[in-house]
Amino acid sequence: MTSLTTGLPQVVDSWVASGGLVIPASVGNQYAAVTLNSGTGTAAQLMITGAPGYYMTEFGFQCDPTATLGSAGMETINFVDSSFGTVASFRVYIPSSAAAPTIPTIIREVNPGPFIWNNKSANSTLSVNLGTALIAGSIRVFVRYGLCSYVG
C-alpha cells in the first residue's frame, strides 16, 4: 500500500522485536533459492547478504522424491546466520534407495511468515547446508526476505 501524498510505503502494522525495536509489518520483496545435491555436500551455500541488515518473511524446501542418502535416515536442512548461528532447521526422512514415483509427488515444507527472523548485525549473511551429503537427487531451498537498515 502506498501513501497518495508521499508515494512512500504505508505501515499497516508492526511488531516489537528484541531490544524494543519496532519493525514495520512488510512483505519480503526479495527471493533467493539454492539447490543442494551431492555436489554441494554439506558445505554452506550463501543465500542472503544483509545490506546492511535483512529480515525473512518466509522460507522452506522442496525435496526430490528420488533423493537418497548413503544410509536411510533423517536429513537436516540448516539455515545459519553468520552473526547468530542456526536460525532454523528442517528435518526430512530420506531413504537409501528410491525409485521414481508413478504419480506426481511433492515433498515440500514452507514456514510462512508474516515475520520469521530479523538480523540487526550489519552485513551478516544467511547460508544453508545439509547435515548429511545426498547421494542422488536434490533439495531446493528458498527464502523470501527484504533488506533493511534495522541494525543495532
Tell me the pLDDT tens digit for each residue of 21-58: 665 556 678 899 999 999 999 999 999 998 888 888 88
pTM score of the predicted model = 0.79
CA nearest to 87, candidates 121, 123, 127, 49 = 127
Q: Is the pLDDT of residue 98 over 60?
A: yes
* Structural contact between residues 119 and 83, judged by C-beta atoms closer than 8 angstroms: yes
Q: What is the largest CA-CA distance in the chain?
A: 61
C-alpha span between 94 and 152 (Å, rounded): 40
Report all structural domains of the chain as residue ranges with CATH numbers, in order of start. 27-148 (2.60.120.340)
Q: Is the per-residue pLDDT at 78 higher than 80?
A: yes
